[in-house]
Structure 1
């Protein structure tokens, strides 16, 4: 695996509201440490970083605009603006970072970026949607599965999936469907 000098790290929705009991049981307690190590490496090497924030329009959402839950988690907030490379803040109100402001696709293409690494919250929601769109737009998408987490979820017909099952399904769908290459944080750090 090769990581290019201009590969962008996209840090999705690492916000305080995801610590709220509203979401239920989560997986991967090491996710934040892995995210932090990738942000640090990107900053040390001057590579571009995109921080994405979900600004929920729903007033009762733990991610509602103007609430404490909307803010980035401390380990992300403390790192913003500390790197020598380009940095972008994208805000969105839907699942994909490619439907935010400013236009992520235009920014990446304007900088000649063709490879992205996606980390953050939630694995099977905004991370997966951003990865699928990135793949559709022609980016080489790397998806370090241990640098993200999700929550148990109940769907139709009384079906429910654990966070681990959802993570596995996302990995198989993205990798098997060739939307992204599912890798580990160590794979990315070794190549960067």
Structure 2
């Protein structure tokens, strides 16, 4: 059984300047590398799309931000799961899709790491899925905490990876995953 590649929120809404400064400018190209490897092997891919119900959200259906980004857009025949909340497992048929494949291990990547990616990884682990999380195929944005302190995107990113590693996922990188794909 092959791992399922799950891409989170690879939509044009992430180009909105309202997200603020981000880290990891190579994330999209790293996601594309994973996607190419899975496509070359005919392995299962799930594109998760956020269809926000908030009127002010750039992810709301019917506006350009809801569209997939070209570099990592789904091809005909690839699975798309539309979600309305942060986790790809809540209110969707993702569990049923994965169970029909024999409950494979998952490789989860995308944006935002400390938001929809983290929510999806945590739920996946709680449902008993083995998860690998390539930190270089995700990105984060600056975040202000409740005391007013501004946390740089890279700090948010590294702390989120540390919180997920071990208990919820095996944090790794794209090169390591691709070595296993080729090997």
1:89 to 2:80 alignment: yes
Partner SS, residue 89 of structure 1: strand
1:116 to 2:102 alignment: no
Number of the residue aligned with 1:146: 136
Partner SS, residue 32 of structure 1: helix
Number of the residue aligned with 2:12: 16
**TM-superposed deviation, 1:37:** 0.5
Q: How does 1:126-165 map to 2 (within 5 A)?
A: 126-165=116-155
**TM-superposed deviation, 1:100:** 4.0
**Cα distance in 2 between the residues matched to 1:94 and 1:156:** 22
**Cα distance in 2 between the residues matched to 1:14 and 1:66:** 16
**Cα distance in 2 between the residues matched to 1:126 and 1:187:** 23
Structure 1, unaligned runs of 5 or more: none
**Cα distance in 2 between the residues matched to 1:139 and 1:58:** 30
Q: How does 1:64-75 map to 2 (within 5 A)?
A: 64-75=60-71
Q: How does 1:24-35 map to 2 (within 5 A)?
A: 24-35=20-31
Q: Tell me the TM-score normalised to structure 1 length.
A: 0.90
Q: How many residues align?
A: 181
**Cα distance in 2 between the residues matched to 1:49 and 1:71:** 18
1:170 to 2:172 alignment: no
Question: Are 2:8 and 2:110, in contact at CA under 8 Å, matched by a contact in 1?
Answer: yes
Partner SS, residue 89 of structure 2: helix
**Cα distance in 1 between the residues matched to 2:76 and 2:26:** 24
Question: Are 1:143 and 1:180, in contact at CA under 8 Å, matched by a contact in 2?
Answer: yes
